[in-house]
Amino acid sequence: MHLRNARKLCPDLRTVPYEFDAFYQVAEVFYKTVSRFCLQIEALSCDEMYVDVTELLGVRNEKADIRLTSPLVLGALLRRHVSAATQCTATCGFGTNRLLARLATKRAKPNSQALLLGSAWRCLDLPSSSATASICELASQDGSRYLDDLPLSHYQECNRVIV
């Protein structure tokens, strides 16, 4: 809502100035902390980014498909480092593509983490319960139920296809 409209609804509204220097300093520490793990970062805002951690999570070749660590273990470690460096909480959403990562992030807010896998993913070695895992869903089942809660049906151009 624009401030002009808010003042019409609430004439006694008081505003506080932004502390842009503080935002900038925390954002810089946040980005530096994440870049210690991976340099494939696409900034979205001062406190949000896409990070491609594929290389950290696995090695793939014609003979092997090995995952070196669980995304949820990496997320817990990353969130702990961000919290220690910035005194701010962090949310991590992991997905097999950007859409699923974004949906997982929305599901995990605030201050948690989530993993949303595409239906083609073989979920062989994820533990059924884990201290670091708040959510592990297969998009072909639970992910489609999650999408049902979103207002996607209002957009005729948007097909509900999960990869």
How many Cβ atoms from other residues are within 10 Å of residue 52's Cβ?
14
Amino acid sitting at position 35: S
The overall pTM is greater than 0.75: no
For 95-138, write each residue's pLDDT tens digit.
Answer: 888 988 998 899 889 999 988 877 655 444 444 444 333 334 43
CATH fold of 19-154 reads Alpha-Beta Plaits (3.30.70)
pLDDT over threshold 90, residue 55:
no
**Active-site hit among 19, 28, 48, 55:** 48
Dihedrals φ, ψ of 27, to 5°? -60, -40
pLDDT band, residue 148 (cuts 50/70/90): low
Handedness of CA 21, 27, 28, 30 (dihedral sign): positive
62 catalytic? Reply is no
